[in-house]
Structure 1
Amino acid sequence: MSNKLFGLLKQRSFLPYFCTQALGAMNDNVYKNSLLLIVAFIAPQALPVSSDLIINLAAALFILPFFLFSAHAGLLADKLEKSQLIRRVKLLEVVIMSIAAWAIVSQSILVMLLLLFLMGVQSAYFGPVKYALLPQHLKPAQLLQGNALVELGTFLAILLGTLLAGVLIGQSNGALYAAIVVVSLAIFGFIAACFIPKATASNPNIQVKFNPYKQSCRIIKLAKQNRAVFLSILGISWFWFLGATYLTQFPNFAKIYLAAEPEVVSVLLAIFSIGIGLGSILCSKLSGSHIELGLVPIGSIGLTLFGGHLFFAVPELSVDTVQSFSVFMQNSQNWAVMIDLTLIGVFGGLYIVPLYAMVQSRTDESKRAQIIAANNILNALFMVVSAIFAIICLSVLELSIPQLFAILAVINAAVAIYIYYQVPEFTLRLMIWLLSHSLYRVKSSGQQAIPASGGVLLAANHVSYVDALILAGACRRPIRFVMDKRISDMPLLKYFFKHARVIPICPPRYNRATYDTAFELIHQALQNDEVVCIFPEGRLTPDGKLSPFKKGIERILASDPVPVIPVALKGLWGSFFSHKGGHALTKLPSRFWSKVEVEILEPIPAVEVTAAHLQQKIQNLLVDPPSDKLNS
């Protein structure tokens, strides 16, 4: 576990927010599950309608507000100061839970259903503001850690709330105890919210009117404007589709296929939730101080593999066997199921945390809450579709629950392939992550020199065929690389370079059209406020030394006078991908886990840059001894 991760819990900017979110999630589940258990234990003749209808109605009433109010909530969260809005929302929870306490004690089912709807409303208004606030209170390097802790806290709170409801309602005065707990959690949540620091309004001049359908369509259209963000939202929604399906099927899965008593359902829920928490922590540890999108494909691969293996892990038990909690835990035939569910949770954490962080970091602050509201609407839609999908599979097609799990694994693989094909940045980041955690140990310094927005030109020495991947891993912004056409067309790397929107270039004597087109594409990229990286040597170094810089950079700056950032790559000479000891890629790899350094200097104004001056800057970086920080 990382000290940096849990160090956030010591910060005033995060701890009150974390407690507010966790207490709210716990309260939602204590109340919702108390209602379901009261319905289950009341005599059927005492209910106004059938228990099955009430259970399904409860699920619908809690999720309906996300369709009706999320868009309005997103607009309010962008318009208003966020900490004050959170306090208002949490105060509403105190009022709702105060009435709910009476309804629980009196076991007034219809009133409890109405209040469940109102809790859904409260959650719908809390959703956009809670995620939009994080990037304002945390530094960019802390954003992924913050999301990891939020996911950890949320799923553990859901678990504790669910288990606590079962314990409370099982007592002789359980309804009274449950009533006291929901009011207490609401009050504690409001108190925690009072300590959340101010977060200024992102867009105070925005017009806010309540029109659910039009507003929902508008903010979803708004989310579609950034393709990578929208596909990340679809990826998040797919995860909630998976999660809702697993959680909904746990009771019947335990009863029918594991021949287990009801308390085993709590075991399945616990290991699944704890797995997601562990995955969130692992994601933070593997990512370091930046959002590592390369973990998302790893997460989806794990979801597919262990989701599919769950079909084969179901033990063959005697129909006469009924396993209590202790018997279930001692039966080794059940261990494969528990391991699969734990690892589904772990890989789910690896998958979901970077996606949330990406949506927050890649969205304009003035529209962030609205984009998160669009995410909440689509999450709710996917959860509803998951219920319909399960009904069709289990009731219409008469498939078994293990078969349903196997189908989910196959569909998950298809969804992952579609998203990663549409947004190749995920696949590229996976390659970068694997490269920097197998052949190399990459240490970077000076990333803060790269501005968060605006066109900028990076200039680096060219040592190996993986220079672009190493540099892409060191920069938090996507990079457009200008690359020798012979390298960009290499069979093993051509696909990735193409989808990374590499700009191929070659000497004009070989192909004048390619040469001129490259400069036009560079101009368009810089005008579009993108990061462009060039290798001014124009070729891989044949001897490990810096070759003379070509004048192309001066032509670029004459058209687009953007800042230039010198970058030095150290430690790649002698690798499998360099020309040392023979042509690159023709030798057997001889180095693993070797140190590679990326050293980034402060930007140089365009008016001061010449090819010779830039060459000297990078040469100085290459001959200077590495910093203590990089050697540590």
Structure 2
Amino acid sequence: MLFGAQVFGAFADNALRNATIVAIIAAATVSVGEDFYFFGDLANEAGTIVSIGFTLPIFAFAMISGQMADRVPRHVMARRLKFLELILMSLAALWFFLGQALPLVLTLALMGAQTAFFQPVRFALMPQYFPPSRLARANGIMQAGTFIAIVTGLGLGGYYFEVENGRMIVSAMLVGAAVIGWLLAIRLPEAPPPGREPINWNIPAVAWRYFREAGKTPGVLWPILANGYFWLVGAFLLAHMPIFMRDQLGGTNQDYALLNAFFALGAGLGSIIAGVLAPKLKEPKQMSAVALMVGMAALIGVYFYTRVPFTGEFQLFGPAGYPLMTLFIISSAANGVFAVPMLASFQANAPKAISARIMGVANMTNGLFATVGAILASVFRNAGIDPAQMFLVMVAMGGSVLMIMFWRFRMFRGQHVGAEGT
């Protein structure tokens, strides 16, 4: 039931986000008053604006939601949040059908707030429903299902916008997915909270406190930060891909939607691979480091393949498109392999009494990193970095993460050897 509630929510979120981005960019050249008009030149930044509008509330509300999930019965909280999702998705579907961009973006921000409250509950329920021996595999399946939902949402949301009766189709998909997610959530098994500590509304103080708590427990804080990097990459790509498809490849909005979908598909495949392999490995985080290097190599391949803008008609399902899809799938699969051991690490190692609040720390980190990723895409683009060179920027970011991982591994090994010597 938790799997289904998460998957249908992810589908609806991403169908709405991608359809909104495609609709606003497609309307960028029309006059004021037309459908999906969004402040003239700002429409070209639709990927960044939509991403920030969705992820910034996740950052803002994550710590309050984590505290609530440690105080309120988690299955009850999940049910109520899914009902709220149904209301918001119905409202968003109405704005999309009417072609109103600004109310649509504002409703997306409210969906980000709903996600901020649901994700700590979902993260905290995983170790409550699954024993530690099955947690990595369960996370792999959950991540894979989520990415398959993201694939479908990104693809269908962007694709159906431009077909006949597309608005009606997208609106119906949003409401239908929200209804199914709510119906599944009301069947979640009981999951009582671990404590009754009063909620502290001083968000900065709470965040600092639980970041420190996360740092005290091995295998929690650094995996949370690594998982945040995964979100940063995703937001960076979502903000960058429309411009990359338009300016470097000369493709259509439907090509953009499908390419995003293939990227998410690769991440889902990587999550399945990690879920199968991680329980069999002595140190799954080493697998994350190898996956990060593979992903960086694939992005370098994307740069060399697209560094010269394509001329003529670009077809994603054609000789020019197949190598690009392959590179994206390899890169995103590597990202999926990278993320799953990190996610399993902080879920399994978080102190049980404050596990949802630690998940709130993770969610706050994810929201912050995703917001930064969307902003960086706009900053680098306006600084003159061309669409192909943006992938080298991502490689540089991945290289920084890899250096930190090697530093942490060497430090841990030195401490372990020192302890054996004593």
Matched, 1:223 2:209: no
Aligned to 1:119: 111
Aligned to 1:548: none
Amino acid at match of 2:221: F
Aligned to 2:379: 392
Q: 1:349 to 1:32 in 2, by over 3 A?
A: closer
Quick check: 1:86–1:126 contact (8 Å CA) kept in 2? Answer: yes
Amino acid at match of 1:375: A
* CA drift at 1:317: 6.1
* CA drift at 1:297: 1.5
* CA drift at 1:504: 4.5
Q: Structure 2: state its 5+ residue gaps.
A: none
Quick check: 1:263–1:325 contact (8 Å CA) kept in 2? Answer: no
- 2:268 equivalent among 277, 280, 302: 277
Q: 1:355 to 1:403 in 2, by over 3 A?
A: same
| Structure 1 residue ranges (4+ consecutive) displaced by more than 6 angstroms after TM superposition | none
Secondary structure of the corresponding residue to residue 324 of structure 2: helix
Q: 1:316 to 1:38 in 2, by over 3 A?
A: closer
- 1:363 equivalent among 350, 355, 358: 350
Quick check: 1:307–1:409 contact (8 Å CA) kept in 2? Answer: yes
User: How do 1:587-606 residues align onto structure 2 when only pairs under 5 Å count?
Assistant: none
Amino acid at match of 1:322: E
Aligned to 1:574: none
Q: 1:309 to 1:499 in 2, by over 3 A?
A: farther
Quick check: 1:235–1:419 contact (8 Å CA) kept in 2? Answer: no
- 1:380 equivalent among 350, 367, 370: 367
Per-residue CA deviation, residues 296-342 of structure 1 (Å, 9 max, x unaligned), is: 121122122222333223375664x222344xx223xx544332211
Quick check: 1:40–1:51 contact (8 Å CA) kept in 2? Answer: no
User: How do 1:64-103 residues align onto structure 2 when only pairs under 5 Å count?
Assistant: 64-103=56-95
Number of aligned residue pairs:
414
Quick check: 1:25–1:158 contact (8 Å CA) kept in 2? Answer: yes
Q: Which moved more, 1:272-281 or 1:112-121?
A: 112-121
Aligned to 1:296: 288
* CA drift at 1:400: 2.2
Q: What is the Cα-based RMSD across aligned positions, in Å? A: 2.5
- 1:35 equivalent among 20, 23, 28: 20
Whole-Å separation in 1 of the counterparts to 2:60 and 2:252: 38
Per-residue CA deviation, residues 538-574 of structure 1 (Å, 9 max, x unaligned), is: xxxxxxxxxxxxxxxxxxxxxxxxxxxxxxxxxxxxx
Amino acid at match of 2:212: K
* CA drift at 1:260: 3.0
Whole-Å separation in 2 of the counterparts to 1:107 and 1:260: 23
Q: 1:229 to 1:69 in 2, by over 3 A?
A: same
Q: What TM-score, normalized to structure 1?
A: 0.61
Whole-Å separation in 2 of the counterparts to 1:89 and 1:190: 8
Matched, 1:50 2:39: yes
Whole-Å separation in 2 of the counterparts to 1:164 and 1:234: 31
Q: 1:142 to 1:207 in 2, by over 3 A?
A: same
- 1:404 equivalent among 390, 402, 412: 390
Q: 1:302 to 1:386 in 2, by over 3 A?
A: same
Question: More strand per residue: 1 or 2?
Answer: 1
- 2:4 equivalent among 1, 19, 36: 19
Aligned to 2:419: 503
Amino acid at match of 2:128: Q
Secondary structure of the corresponding residue to residue 401 of structure 1: coil
Whole-Å separation in 2 of the counterparts to 1:404 and 1:103: 33
Quick check: 2:295–2:334 contact (8 Å CA) kept in 1? Answer: yes
Q: What TM-score, normalized to structure 2?
A: 0.89
> Which structure: larger Rg?
1
Q: Structure 1: state its 5+ residue gaps.
A: 1-15, 427-495, 506-517, 519-632
Whole-Å separation in 1 of the counterparts to 2:138 and 2:80: 23
Aligned to 1:150: 142
Per-residue CA deviation, residues 11-37 of structure 1 (Å, 9 max, x unaligned), is: xxxxx1111000001111222333334
Q: Which moved more, 1:133-142 or 1:60-69?
A: 60-69
Per-residue CA deviation, residues 356-383 of structure 1 (Å, 9 max, x unaligned), is: 0001011111111111111121222222
Quick check: 2:51–2:371 contact (8 Å CA) kept in 1? Answer: no
Whole-Å separation in 1 of the counterparts to 2:395 and 2:409: 21
Aligned to 1:348: 335
State the identity %.
25
Per-residue CA deviation, residues 54-99 of structure 1 (Å, 9 max, x unaligned), is: 6354333222211221111000111121111100100111222233
